[in-house]
Amino acid sequence: MANERVAVLGGTGPLGRGLGRRLALAGYEVVVGSRDAARAAAVADALRAATGMTIAGAENATALDGAAICVLAIPADGVETMLAALRPRLAGTLVVDVVVPLAMRDGVVEHAPPPGERSAGEMIQRLLPESTVVSAFKTVPAAVLDGPGATVEGDVLISGDDAGARARVATLVERIPALRAIDAGALRTVRAVEGITALLVNLNRRHHARTAVRILGL
Amino acid sequence: MANERVAVLGGTGPLGRGLGRRLALAGYEVVVGSRDAARAAAVADALRAATGMTIAGAENATALDGAAICVLAIPADGVETMLAALRPRLAGTLVVDVVVPLAMRDGVVEHAPPPGERSAGEMIQRLLPESTVVSAFKTVPAAVLDGPGATVEGDVLISGDDAGARARVATLVERIPALRAIDAGALRTVRAVEGITALLVNLNRRHHARTAVRILGL
C-alpha cells in the first residue's frame, strides 16, 4: 500500500501539483502527468527537490503505466476530449476526480457543469464506464496543498457509487496529515460538494481568505 | 433592537420552533405563526414555559402585526400559495428565508427546487418583490436548535442581494450563542447553501448524526 503508484493527470496545475506533493509526502509513488512531458518533468523535479520523495513526470498517457490510482486534476473544460482519448488506458483503474466546473456570472462564482450534466463527477463516470470514479478533494484549497510547510486542514467529502472504492480513497485522504475523510455516499452527492467549492471561492474573494470546510457533529 | 418583534411563520414545525426558542432566548419578542391559531398558541405556551421569555402565538397573517422581521419557516411545497396570500402584508418587511426544498431519489436526499427554480431563496424573493429576502439558518440542525439545553454550534451562511439586510440578519444570528454568521454575498449563493443542507441530511442518515457546517479559514 505504501508504495502504491498514483498518477496525477493535470499534475502541473495548482490543485494537481498540491495533491502530487501531499501524496508523495504520504508515501505514494507519484507520477505527475501533463499533456506536455517536459512540463511534467519540470514540475516533478521541483516537487522532488522540495520533498525528497519519489516523484516522476511524464505525458498523461505514459504517466498511467503501472498506476493503481489515477487522480484526475485537469481543467473542467478539457475533460471530455481528454477522457475520450484515455478511456481504454483507464479501464479498471480507480479514478479520483477532483474537477469542479465553475463559471463567473454577475460577479458570483457558480457551479457550472456543462449543459445536461449535474456534476463533473457524474459526467466523468459516464465518460469512463470501465473505471470506478470517486470524487474527492473538491473543497480543499489548492494554494494550501501546494504550500511547502502549511498544514492542510479540512474535511474531504468522498462521493462514489462503489463503497470499496470510497474506502480506498478515504485511506489515501487520511494519509495526508490534518485532512479528514467523510463518506458522503453515492456519486450524486458530489453535486452539492461541487456547489460548496463555488461557495468557498466566493467566500475567498469576499473575505480575502483561503477557506475549507468542516462538518460538525461527525 | 433587543425588543424587536420577530414573527416566525411556520413556527410550529421543527425548524420554526427551534428558531423561535433561540430568538426568544436572545431577547427578541417572538410571535409563533401557524395556519392554525390554536396550534400556534399551544407551541408559544410550551416555549414560553420552557424559556421564560416573551413568546406569543397567532395565525400567520396576524403574527406579522408589528413584526420588524419575518422568519419564513414553512414547508417548501407550501411557499407559493402562502406567499401569494401574504405578499401585501410582507411588503417592506425583512424576510428571513430558512426554507430548503428537498426530495429523496434512489435513496439520496437531493436539493429539489421546483421546475424552473434554482433555489428557495430566489423563488421567495421573486414571489415577494416588495420585501427584502435574506436566506439564512439553512445548515443548522432543527433538532439541536429545539433542544432545551443543547449548544447550537455552526456557521450560518447569509445570502441576499441587499448588504444592509444581510448585516441585520448577521446581527440576529450572532445573538444566538455559538452560531457564527458568514456573509456569503448575493442571494444566488444560496443555491450552494441549500445543496449543503441536502448533503448534511444525507450525512445524518449515513452516519446517524446531527451535522452542521463550519467554514475554516475565516
CATH at residue A119: 3.40.50.720
Task: Give a yes or no: residue A198 inside a domain.
Answer: yes
Of B206, B216, B217, the CB nearest to A185: B206
Alpha-carbon distance of B96 to B192, in angstroms, equals 17
Q: Give the pairing of strands B154-160 and B179-185.
A: parallel
Task: Give a yes or no: residue B135 inside a domain.
Answer: yes
Name the nearest CA neighbour of A74 among A1, A123, A117, A4: A123
Residue A162 has pLDDT above 60, yes or no: yes
Q: Judge: B203–A182 Cβ closer than 8 Å, yes or no.
A: yes
Of B192, B196, B218, the CB nearest to A209: B218
Task: Give a yes or no: residue B217 inside a domain.
Answer: no
Spatial CB neighbours of A78, under 8 Å, sequence gap ≥ 6 = A10
Q: Judge: A209–B195 Cβ closer than 8 Å, yes or no.
A: no
Task: Give a yes or no: residue A213 inside a domain.
Answer: no
Give the number of domains in chain B. Answer: 1
pLDDT of residue A77: 93
pLDDT of residue A152: 73
Phi/psi for A209 (5° steps) reads -135, 175
Note whether B87 contacts A: Cβ–Cβ < 8 A: no
Alpha-carbon distance of B59 to B108, in angstroms, equals 35
- Chain B residues in contact with A142 by the CB 8 A cut-off are none
Residue B181 has pLDDT above 60, yes or no: yes
Residue A112 has pLDDT above 60, yes or no: yes
A119-132 pLDDT, tens digit per residue, is 999 999 999 999 99
CA angle A212, A14, A95 (to 5 degrees): 80
From A50-54, B56-60, B117-121, the region with the lowest mean pLDDT: A50-54
Containing H/E element for B50? helix B37-51
pLDDT of residue B3: 74
Task: Give a yes or no: residue B144 inside a domain.
Answer: yes
Task: Give a yes or no: residue A27 inside a domain.
Answer: yes
Q: Judge: A211–B213 Cβ closer than 8 Å, yes or no.
A: no
- For residue B72, give the 3-state DSSP assignment: strand
pLDDT of residue A119: 98
Alpha-carbon distance of B5 to A63, in angstroms, equals 64
Residue A2 has pLDDT above 60, yes or no: no
pLDDT of residue B145: 82
pLDDT of residue A149: 65
- Chain A residues in contact with B207 by the CB 8 A cut-off are 183, 218
Q: Judge: B216–A212 Cβ closer than 8 Å, yes or no.
A: yes
Of B154, B213, B218, the CB nearest to A207: B218
Over range A8-36, report the average pLDDT.
95
Q: Judge: B188–A108 Cβ closer than 8 Å, yes or no.
A: yes
B85-131 pLDDT, tens digit per residue, is 999 999 999 999 999 999 999 999 999 999 999 999 999 999 999 99
Note whether A49 contacts B: Cβ–Cβ < 8 A: no
pLDDT of residue B146: 80
Note whether A48 contacts B: Cβ–Cβ < 8 A: no
pLDDT of residue B150: 63
pLDDT of residue A154: 92
Which residues face B132 on adjacent strands?
Answer: B94
Note whether B148 contacts A: Cβ–Cβ < 8 A: no
pLDDT bracket for residue A144 (50, 70, 90): confident
Note whether B178 contacts A: Cβ–Cβ < 8 A: no
| Residue-averaged pLDDT of chain A | 94
Residue B119: domain span: 5-207
pLDDT bracket for residue A147 (50, 70, 90): confident
Task: Give a yes or no: residue A217 inside a domain.
Answer: no
pLDDT of residue B199: 97
Of A184, A200, A203, the CB nearest to B202: A184
Q: Give the pairing of strands B69-72 and B94-97.
A: parallel
Q: Judge: A200–B193 Cβ closer than 8 Å, yes or no.
A: no
pLDDT of residue B2: 57
Spatial CB neighbours of B31, under 8 Å, sequence gap ≥ 6 = B5, B6, B7, B8, B11, B44, B55, B56, B57, B58, B63, B65, B67
pLDDT of residue A102: 97
Q: What is the pTM of this model?
A: 0.95
Contact B13, B19 (CB under 8 A): no
Task: Give a yes or no: residue A152 inside a domain.
Answer: yes
Q: How far is CA A213 from CA A154, A173, A182, A196, B212, in A?
A: 6, 15, 11, 8, 11
Over range B147-163, report the average pLDDT.
87
